[in-house]
Structure 1
Amino acid sequence: MRAQQLAVCLVLCFSAATVSAADGNQLLDACQQAVKYFDGDKTDVDRFKMPYCLGLVEGTRNTMALLDQQDPAACVPANITNTQAVRLVVKYLRANPEKLHLDASATILLSLMAAYPCPPRDAVK
């Protein structure tokens, strides 16, 4: 079931790419602007890229929460903030440059799956 839900999410993410054509490179650039802003450097921040990053991260997280209720792809804590999620995405993309060609939403999903893996189903009782 998890594989089916993940496949649906990835198909939706990749189909959105035909509209926006945004990939991990654009996401990393935009989210690095957001992190600069979070860290207090408000002087040289592209204020058009930052909301793009925040909105895409939040939207992907919300979509995951809706689609993954029975068998989640990632076990993201309920109390994680969007700021923390953005930092995770930046960390993941910097550590995995081979993923930068992927759709932006897919890279968010992959970063959350890497940071918050779910325990195997048979281990959860």
Structure 2
Amino acid sequence: MIMRYIAATTILFALTQVSHATDGSFLLNSCNELLNETSQGVADQLTAPNTLASGFCYGSMTTLQQLSNLQWPGNNEPMLGLCVPSAVRTSQYARIVIKYLQAHPEKLHEDGSYLAWQALQEVYPYSSSCRR
């Protein structure tokens, strides 16, 4: 049981340290920049501009995508408490986060990683009937 808490704390610590200096405003702007370059009509065809901001969004979304697949050993429950279908693409993660941030401008000063997790938690909460 203690290993669960250590693993969860380590994951959340890593997420917050990566974006410690980035708040919701930066995440919103960087994801908007990234998706402005997304090819229309092509599933998840991202052509990111060569900027730090768009790269930050892409890196954040792919990290969340990978971490959302991590499961606790033995019971297969997701470590982040999310039930995101495996077919959800990186660009969809960014769209979910953008929509959440636009709906909650009062939170834009908060940590970007935490806000991205909240956005996904709102759309894909974990339940015992979770199917990926």
TM-score, normalised with respect to structure 1: 0.73
Q: Which residue of 2 aligns with 1:71?
A: 77
Contact 2:68–2:84 (CA<8 Å) still a contact in 1? no
Partners in 2 of 1:16 and 1:81 — Cα distance? Answer: 21
Partner of 2:16: 14
Greater relative CO (CA pairs within 8 A, separation 6+): 1
| Root mean square deviation of aligned Cα | 2.8
Calculate percent identity across the aligned residue pairs.
28
One-letter code aligned to 2:77: D
1:111 and 2:119 are equivalent in the alignment? yes
Structure ranking higher in helix proportion: 1
Cα deviations by residue, 1:3-54 (Å, 9 ceiling, x for unpaired):
9466554333333344xx11111110000111221266xxxx9641222211
- The ranges of structure 1 where at least 4 consecutive aligned residues each deviate by more than 4 angstroms after the TM superposition are 3-8
2:108 to 100, 115, 118: 100
Unaligned runs of 5+ in 1: none
Q: Is contact 2:25–2:109 with CA below 8 Å preserved after alignment? A: yes
TM-score under structure 2 length normalisation: 0.70
Correspondence 1:74-93 to 2 at 5 A: 74-93=82-101
Aligned length: 115
